[in-house]
Amino acid sequence: MNFKTADRTAIWLGLMLLASSVYAAGPSYRIEVDGLACPFCAYGIEKKLNAVPGVERVETDIKHGVVIVTMDDGAALDETAAKRAVKEAGFTLKGFKRASSEQ
Amino acid sequence: MHPRRLRWLGLTMVAAATTLAGISHAASQTFNTALPVAEGSLVLREQLLYLKASDDNASDEPGPAERNLDVFGSFSVLGYGVRSDLALFGVLPYLDKQLELTTPGGERITRSAHGIGDAQVFAPYTLLQHDRRGSTFRVAPFVGIKLPTGDDNDRDGFGRLPQPLQPGSGSWDLFGGVIATYQTLDYQLDTQISYKTNTEANGFEFGDESRLDASAWTARPGASSAAPAAARVNSARPAGSRSATTTRFTSPTSTAIASRHCSPMARSSASGDKRGGPGTRPATSTTRPMSRATGPATSTSPMATATRSRYSAPTGHPCANGAVRSRAAPTARSTAGSRR
């Protein structure tokens, strides 16, 4: 196996692993947060939500005050846990709903 | 340096600058904001200071000593979120002070001191919090104490340095106040009223201080990261002297105005006045207008000092959490993975 082939193989393996992790993602939740007006505030919320067991990814849309939480495959996010995380970050949870089922 | 290393260094610097641009944020620079520190989280802020004061008497003409005071300083601020509505802040300054003056014999001399200044610890508590989509209004009273961590007995070839030139005051001083902050996606307003009681140390007592600070910050539309706020006006009316006003610009992209009034209650005992050798005589001084300065994050208040023998660091409350808050365009999306 020459060097280029090894490189190509490694890249494909990486992509496959990445793809498998995407397919393994669990349900997503849409959390509306009041008081969120700067990225540092978002950082605090993300840090708190990421500490919740089962959370795979957190994305924040500051402009609309929306946080999308994607869970691990088979995990679910409890509204109480989400509310606690937002409160510990210093903000107010306005809305909570499941955005999608498992991908 | 090898060109390849140079290129890597350049790339690293660009990456670092990009990262810093993401986490740096404009905010009130000499006092607090009422914005929260997430529970269990730490925030760190570094603030730089340059102060220049001159004049020697109450008239417009310079006094015979023609004293010029220059102060360079950096203030490290560490905040910890005890709860979402209660934070604990510590401030540790490093000061480099230099005083030029003319002795009664007509000789022009320079006296200087540098080192760790007096640390401060204080705790703001969010008493009122009104959150809406994309905005928040908060009111947070705070109390704190200034600790005598700075050297207050520095000497040079002329003897003991005058008290205002010492890095520390040697006293334990309590302070408290209230901060109000209104923040939206496009701008932020901060205001603070505070009072500090200064106690006696080394036979010298600085006057109590009352302060009123305010700042406004606006986001530049479309900017991914806005520069810190810009203009500040300080005023001080020391006992028996004219008032001094200083205006300073740090960035053309936004505007901040802060005003401070130092109460004319400074007291100095005779022993405190006589111990320092040249330059010790308590005098009223007024700040000169500062030259235009550019660049973010360097700035702070040019500190209108000037009460009788009074030097009051502008870092009374330099703890804007904002130092580590990042302000991107309102449309910015931030993503964080759970397995960082």
| Residue type at B89 in one-letter notation | F
Distance of alpha carbon B210 from alpha carbon B264, whole angstroms? 9
Distance of alpha carbon B28 from alpha carbon B129, whole angstroms? 19
Using CB atoms, pick whichever of B83, B132, B336 lies closest to residue A46.
B336
Using CB atoms, pick whichever of A34, A63, A91 lies closest to residue B331.
A63
Q: Which two tokens mark B5? A: 């290393």
Q: Is it the case that residue B60 has pLDDT exceeding 90?
A: no
Distance of alpha carbon A18 from alpha carbon B60, whole angstroms? 72
CA distance, residue A17 to nearest chain B CA (Å): 16
Q: Is it the case that residue B255 has pLDDT exceeding 60?
A: no
Tell me the pLDDT tens digit for each residue of B115-147: 999 999 999 999 999 999 999 999 999 999 999
Using CB atoms, pick whichever of A55, A63, A90 lies closest to residue B185.
A63
The residues of A whose Cβ lies within 8 A of any Cβ of B are 32, 34-48, 50, 55-65, 87-92, 94
Q: Which two tokens mark A83? A: 């509310």
Distance of alpha carbon B210 from alpha carbon B212, whole angstroms? 7
CA distance, residue B1 to nearest chain A CA (Å): 30
Three-state DSSP at B300 gives coil
pLDDT band of A97, cuts 50, 70, 90? very high
Q: Is it the case that residue B239 has pLDDT exceeding 50?
A: no
Interface probe with B: pick from A29, A32, A40, A50, most Cβ of B within 10 Å: A40
Tell me the pLDDT tens digit for each residue of A75-90: 999 999 999 999 999 9
| Mean predicted lDDT score pLDDT of chain B | 66
Residue reference for tokens 């309590």: B174
Q: Is B25 in Cβ contact with A90 (below 8 Å)?
A: no
Chain A positions touching B322 (Cβ under 8 A) are: 40
| Residue type at A30 in one-letter notation | R
Q: Is B326 in Cβ contact with A40 (below 8 Å)?
A: yes
Q: Is it the case that residue B340 has pLDDT exceeding 70?
A: no
Distance of alpha carbon A81 from alpha carbon A51, whole angstroms? 10
Q: Is it the case that residue A15 has pLDDT exceeding 80?
A: no
Phi and psi for A53 in degrees, rounded to 5? Answer: -60, 135
| Mean predicted lDDT score pLDDT of chain A | 85
| Count of Cβ atoms closer than 10 Å to residue A7 Cβ | 10
pLDDT band of B67, cuts 50, 70, 90? confident
Strand partners, B123: B143
Averaged pLDDT for residues B24-34: 60
| Residue type at A100 in one-letter notation | S
Residue B82 contacts A, CB cutoff 8 Å: no
pLDDT value, residue B4:
53
| Residue type at B26 in one-letter notation | A
| Count of Cβ atoms closer than 10 Å to residue B234 Cβ | 26
Residue B281 is classified by DSSP as S
Distance of alpha carbon A79 from alpha carbon B84, whole angstroms? 19
Residue B1 is classified by DSSP as -
Q: Where are the beta strands (DSSP E) in B204-290?
A: 204-205, 209-218, 231-236, 244-249, 286-287
Residue B9 or B178, more confident: B178
Using CB atoms, pick whichever of B81, B131, B335 lies closest to residue A35.
B131
Distance of alpha carbon B186 from alpha carbon B220, whole angstroms? 8
Q: Is it the case that residue B286 has pLDDT exceeding 90?
A: no
Q: Is it the case that residue B305 has pLDDT exceeding 70?
A: no
Averaged pLDDT for residues B48-70: 75
| Residue type at B216 in one-letter notation | A
Chain A positions touching B81 (Cβ under 8 A) are: 90
Using CB atoms, pick whichever of A37, A90, A94 lies closest to residue B135.
A37
Q: Which two tokens mark B24? A: 């740096």
Strand partners, A66: A32, A61
Element spanning A39, H or E: helix A39-50
Whether the full predicted model's pTM is greater than 0.80, yes or no, is no
| Residue type at B327 in one-letter notation | R
pLDDT value, residue B313:
34
pLDDT value, residue A66:
95
Tell me the pLDDT tens digit for each residue of A41-65: 889 999 999 999 999 999 999 999 9
Distance of alpha carbon B335 from alpha carbon B1, whole angstroms? 37
Q: Is it the case that residue B66 has pLDDT exceeding 90?
A: no
pLDDT value, residue A79:
95
Residue B107 or B226, more confident: B107
- Binning chain A into helix, strand and coil, the percentages to the nearest 5 are 40, 30, 25
Averaged pLDDT for residues B75-97: 95
